[in-house]
Each structure stands twice: as structure tokens, then as C-alpha cells.
DNA sequence: TTTTATCTTGTTTATTTGGTCAAGAAATTT
DNA sequence: AAATTTCTTGACCAAATAAACAAGATAAAA
């Protein structure tokens, strides 16, 4: 945005708008979302929403930016010193927490990718690609040291991403199948346990 | 649709429309999709598209129906007689093939779920829930017989769904990260190998 | 050939939508 | 308190859109 001074009201309104926009973009996609609908969800007149963000694309960019920030923080890190067991425990645990606590961020991200990543090709091409490279190297080291079985590190990364994010993106389906209305506190722990155990078993050197 | 006689032209046009619609719905979501755009992609006048399908929702329903049919066929089946090893080999293999050969179907489905499954709540509530129940029972039998480790069958189902579908839904991201333009024939085999091996290791009774 | 059913398409209509504008209210600064 | 900036909002507009319509072309059936 800009260097305008940011009063309390401004921040509060912007916050309301971004939260509303997130819901609207998830429900209807970028093109299907309407500024009017975002305004209604935020409880503000449309003209006021456009005062803060000027146009629909700006709103979307702001929502995406937040999403990527979240990806970035919540990700936990994979460091060589931890060794494969602890590193994967930490990583899976962080990703599962993310999925259960911020499913909307995950959904926005997933929709972007499915629709062709028009708005964040750059993020994938630079940041993400480098991240995968770095972590693959660490996994490869552990493999060379005989501390985990010999697999393509990238396959491991994908299976962790997919299996953890699934609980956010497919929330609706999972809850329907399990005939439940919402996730519960316990679920985070249960899923984390299962996934870490399962993945670690798959990596064990016999 | 109806009991009108279906000539060659009719079927051919319908086919073109549905393929175009699939692309349009993936790119822009249900609400963002326009009949005009579908018509353009199909190379037909808009009025002609509406002659065949009457309105946008009908087009979408037809696309979804095809998607579910595909889910249904391509799924391979899990039968008790196969035992865990063969059953999971078959199932994972079928799902991976699906993901690589029909990524668009997977994407449409994923978007529907992410957006709240408005149009296929019924499918999930009935068909899918029953499917999960049936297969869970089979897994539980194998567990009781000591042929695989003791886990919640539903967790296993979710990890297989997510890890296989990932290659379809996140195609764009995966290709970008790997700096490639398209998947190749080999990839299907490679991914199938990895996932079956990995999952079977995770299930092994030591 | 005649008749009927199917298909094609340009035109029109009513509604929705993104975005602007102007006029004023509220807060902040001088 | 005066001046200035920030915020709020109803009214407005041009473009896009879903859908209906009408009139004709083509193919199929009689």
C-alpha cells in the first residue's frame, strides 16, 4: 500500500475487509468474487472498501501476501543438526498445526495453484524452488550417512506437503465422511501422531 | 439430459462444450466462468451452447457428473481377497494413473471440495462415506489378522488420496519447482513405485 | 417430396458488476 | 479555532453477462 499514516480505524477496517475477502475468494474464486459481497461480509459500504484498496485485484494481492507470510512463518524449519527424526517430527507437526489452525490460508493457496498460479508463479519459481533445493540437500546428506532410506528427497517433500495440507483443503469432505460438524482439539494431536509415525516408518533403515 | 435423439453432430458439439467448460471452470471457478467464454473455447456461438445445455448450471452439472463417473471407474477397487500388499499396489497405481492422465477431473473435484462442496454434498454424504466405511472394514480385517500394523484405516485412506491427487491438483507447482514444462511418461511409473513402496513400508508388521 | 424435428445464430433484454465521483463527516494538525 | 487530512457513503455509469427470442438452415422421417 502506501506511506499514509495508519490510524486505528484504518487498520481495523482493512483487517475486516481482508478477512471478508478471504472468505469470498475461497467461496467464489478470484473472478467470481464481487467487491459488493466482500463489503457486505465486512459490514461496510462498497465505496469504503474501494477507498482502502482501490480495486479488486489489490484486495486479492493483499490476501495472497498474508497467505504467503503465513506459509513462511508457520512452516517450521528443517535443519541438518536436528537429524531426520526430529526434523520430520518438527516439520510435520508444524504443517499439521497450520492446516488445522489456518485452513483458509491453505485453501486460498491451493486454489491459486489449481487455477494455474497466475498470481504467484514468481513465488514458486524463486522462493519455493530454492526452499525445495535446500531441504533436498539436507535429506540427501542424511541418506548418504545411512540415517534414512534412499529415496528422492523431492518425493518425500511432496508426500509431507500433500498429506498435511489435505486436512485443510479437504476439510469439508473429511468432516462429511466422518459425519462431524467441526474438527476438535484432539484431532491435531491424533493426525500429527499418525503422520509422523507413518512417515518415519517409511524412512527407517532396516 | 433428455430423450431427444442424439445425432453425431449433437454428441460432437456437446463433447466440445463439456471439454471447454471443464477448462473454463478450472480457470475461473463456477461463478467466475462465463457462458461466452465456454462458447469461445468450444468454437461455437453462445446461443448454440445454451441450446444444448439451457443454462450455466446445467453445464456445470454435466461436467461434475463426468468427473464423478471418472472417479468411480478409475479408482480400481480394494478387495479383501487381494490382501494388503496387492490391494494397495493396485489402488495406489490406479489413483496415480488417474492423477496423471486426468488431472483436470481431479482439479474440478478439488475446487468443488475446497469451495465447500455445494454441488456434491450429496455424493460425499452417501457414496463416499459408504465407500470409506466399506474399505475401512477390509483394512481392519487385515489389521486383526496381523497382516498390517494397527492404524486407523481412515488415516490410511486419507494419506493415499492426498499423496496421489497431489500430482494432479498441484501439477503447476510441481512442474515449476522441478523446472519442467510437462510430465513425462516415466513420471507415472516413478511416482507409483515411490508411493507404493513408501506406503507399504509404513504398513509393514516388523 | 412434403412435413416435421433438430440445430444454428444474430439480436435483444434485464441484471450484475467494477469502479468513479462528489459531498460531507470525523479526526488530526497547525 | 482554523485548516487540513482522512474517512464515509449514496448516487452514478459503462461494460459485461445470463438468458430469452425469433427466424432461418439443415437433416430426418413420412
- Inter-chain CB pairs, A–B, below 8 Å: 162
Cell numbers of B193, please?
A: 513405485
ipTM metric: 0.92
pLDDT tens per residue across span B11-33: 688 999 999 999 999 999 999 99
The answer to whether the CB atoms of B28 and A27 lie below 8 A apart is: no
* B8-64, CATH topology level: Arc Repressor Mutant, subunit A (1.10.10)
Could you tell me which chain B residue has the CA closest to the CA of A114? B169
CATH class of domain segment(s) A8-65: mainly alpha
Q: What is the CATH number of domain A75-203?
A: 1.10.357.10
Contact between B79 and B178 under an 8 Å Cβ cutoff? The reply is no
Contact residues, chain A, for B165 at CB < 8 Å? 162
pLDDT tens per residue across span B65-115: 999 998 888 777 899 999 999 999 999 999 999 999 999 999 999 999 999
User: Measuring CA to CA, how many Å separate B118 from each of A97, A99, A135, A172, B99?
Assistant: 26, 21, 38, 10, 23
What integer is the mean pLDDT of A70-99? 92
Nearest protein residue to nucleotide C11 (CA to C1' distance) is B47
Contact between B195 and B92 under an 8 Å Cβ cutoff? The reply is yes
Cα dihedral B126→B132→B138→B143 (10° resolution): -150
The domains of chain A are located at: 8-65, 75-203
| Protein CA A7 to sugar C1' C28 (Å) | 10
Contact residues, chain B, for A177 at CB < 8 Å? 124, 128-129, 132, 154
Q: Provide DSSP, A115-135.
A: TT-TTTHHHIIIIIHHHHHHH
**Of B44, B190, B198, B203, residue with least CA distance to B139:** B203
Amino acid at each position: 500500500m502506501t506511506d499514509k499514516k495508519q490510524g486505528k480505524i484504518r487498520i481495523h477496517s482493512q483487517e475486516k475487509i481482508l478477512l471478508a475477502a478471504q472468505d469470498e475468494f475461497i467461496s467464489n474464486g478470484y473472478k467470481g468474487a464481487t467487491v459488493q459481497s466482500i463489503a457486505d461480509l465486512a459490514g461496510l459500504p462498497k465505496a469504503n472498501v474501494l477507498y482502502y484498496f482501490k480495486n479488486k485485484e489489490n484486495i486479492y494481492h493483499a490476501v495472497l501476501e498474508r497467505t504467503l507470510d503465513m506459509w513462511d512463518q508457520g512452516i517450521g524449519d528443517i535443519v541438518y543438526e536436528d537429524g531426520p527424526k526430529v526434523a520430520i517430527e518438527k516439520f510435520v507437526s508444524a504443517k499439521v498445526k497450520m492446516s488445522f489452525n489456518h485452513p483458509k490460508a491453505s485453501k486460498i493457496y491451493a486454489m491459486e495453484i489449481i487455477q494455474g498460479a497466475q498470481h504467484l508463479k514468481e513465488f514458486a519459481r524463486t522462493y519455493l524452488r530454492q526452499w525445495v533445493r535446500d531441504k533436498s540437500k539436507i535429506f540427501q546428506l542424511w541418506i548418504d550417512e545411512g540415517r534414512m532410506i534412499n529415496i528422492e528427497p523431492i518425493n518425500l517433500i511432496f508426500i509431507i506437503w500433500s498429506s498435511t495440507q489435505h486436512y485443510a483443503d479437504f476439510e469439508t469432505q473429511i468432516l462429511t465422511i466422518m459425519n462431524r460438524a467441526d474438527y476438535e482439539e484432539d484431532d491435531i494431536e491424533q493426525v500429527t501422531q499418525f503422520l509422523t509415525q507413518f512417515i518415519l516408518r517409511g524412512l527407517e533403515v532396516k
